[in-house]
Amino acid sequence: MARPITSIADLRAIAKRRVPRMFYDYCDSGSWTESTYRENESDFVPIKLRQRVAVDLRNRTLETTMAGENVSMPVAIAPTGLTGMQHADGEIHGARAAEKAGIPFTLSTMSICSIEDIAENTSKPFWFQLYVMRDREFVSNLIRRAKAAKCSALVLTLDLQILGQRHKDIVNGLSTPPRMTVSNIINLATKPRWCLNMLRTNRRTFRNIAGHAKGVTDLRSLSSWTAEQFDPALSWDDVKWIKDQWGGKLILKGILDAEDAEKAVASGADALIVSNHGGRQLDGAISSISALPGIVDAVGDRIEVLMDGGIRSGQDVLKAVALGAKGVFIGRSFLYGLGAGGEAGVTACLDIIRKELDITMAFCGLRDIKDVDSRIIARR
């Protein structure tokens, strides 16, 4: 009998067995020493909760809103690059699971499945994450495609003007599709389920880019174009330009400092996401959960504050909400579920988080997620 899956850690262990090393490591690593990557998770541990008793805990609800949209719990799936390399057609699996769960799915610019692929395989609007490239015509076209797909929010990432160095990607020779080196061939031979699923799909490259960017005709030109396109000159003027181009709900991702949070408010964006890119950019930056309270204090109710980074349980979700986040994004937890079992694995991930969140909220003496605030945090 298979061992029951009871936690995100269980899904992580299965994903590690099933996903080729270079793609698992891409998901499960950070930049340089990986200190920020680790602290995103570990900094939740010292935050303790108040347990309450003899409270009516019937009729509990996790329903709330994120960026003005109704959600079944304060959780959204984060934009993650190369998702379709964790599992064939991975973004489609994730979007379907999110739709069934009643939470937002965010598609990355650097996805394997395209904007159109997701629109064709779902029935409700999803969110699209945008990177600012040097080729502004390509950026404008991406925005038009997101509009045509009826995406309900644009998530603009601000913290990837240049790439942080990720040692594991260099060691593994990360590429899409994987290079057929001796080491990679040997590793792929141990992942028959992954290989079989990949043979059944034609989605094996960056489909938001291939066929849409000038001069990109093959995998080699795609690789060089991508490496050169992240724009180090990105400024708040570009944020205004994108806001005007988009004309819809705008969420700014990558805010970690109160001064930048003030600029996010001034930009007129609808929400910001406290995030350090999963510890994949500035190693040594503070964790998202550590940055959250200061940013909430700085902006008050002038902009909605969301959080991304280190969420591995429903308890983590509750702690983030208690410290002021309106909702959270899950990236690695989602990818562990996806790598472990496709859509069913993502559903298992969301079910685990939902159950933990509901029960923990009840232990804290509350029945409605909208009533959660800092009062549930234990003061030592």
Q: Is 311 annotated as a binding residue?
A: yes
Catalytic one of 87, 93, 167, 277: 277
pLDDT, position 177: 67
Residue 303 belongs to some domain of the structure: yes
CATH number at residue 281: 3.20.20.70
37 is in an annotated binding site: no
Confidence bin at 322 (pLDDT 50/70/90): very high
Would you say residue 97 lies in a domain? yes
> Given a cut of 60, is residue 247 above it in pLDDT?
yes
Structural domains in the chain (count)? 1
In a domain, 152, yes or no: yes
Mean pLDDT over the full length of the chain: 95
> Within a domain: residue 3?
no
| Domain hosting residue 157, numbered range | 8-376
Q: Model confidence over 360-378: pLDDT tens digits?
A: 999 999 999 999 999 999 9
The average pLDDT across 347-355 equals: 98
| pLDDT for res 226 | 79
Q: Tens of pLDDT along 124-141?
A: 999 999 999 999 999 999
Residue 171: predicted pLDDT? 86
The C-alpha angle with vertex 91 and arms to 311 and 61, in degrees rounded to 5, equals 45
Q: Supply the pLDDT for residue 162.
A: 92
CA atoms within 13 A on the CB side of 289: 25
pLDDT in tens, 203-246: 999 999 988 998 776 666 777 787 789 999 999 999 999 999 99
Residue 182 pLDDT: 86
pLDDT for 118 beyond 90: yes
Q: Tokens for 368?
A: 């409605």
> Is 161 within any annotated ligand binding site?
no
Q: Are 29 and 180 in contact (CB under 8 A)?
A: no
Q: What is the pLDDT of residues 143-202, one digit of tens each?
A: 999 999 999 999 999 999 998 999 988 888 887 667 778 888 899 999 999 999 999 999
Catalytic status, residue 277: yes
Specify the pTM: 0.96
* Beta strands at 69-71 and 75-77: parallel, antiparallel or unpaired: unpaired
Instruction: State yes or no: 93 annotated in a binding site.
Output: no
Give yes or no for a contact between 237 and 158, defined as CB atoms under 8 angstroms apart: no
**What interhelical angle do 332-363 and 90-101 show, nearest 10?**
20
pLDDT of residue 181: 82
Evaluate whether residue 1 is within a structural domain. no
Residue 105 has pLDDT above 80, yes or no: yes
Task: Establish if 14 belongs to a structural domain.
Answer: yes
For 12-70, the pLDDT digits (tens) are: 999 999 999 999 999 999 999 999 999 999 999 999 999 999 999 999 999 999 999 99
122 is in an annotated binding site: no
In a 10 Å sphere around its CB, with 0-12 CB exposed, 13-18 middle and 19+ buried, how is residue 197 labelled?
Answer: middle
Q: Is residue 2 part of a domain?
A: no
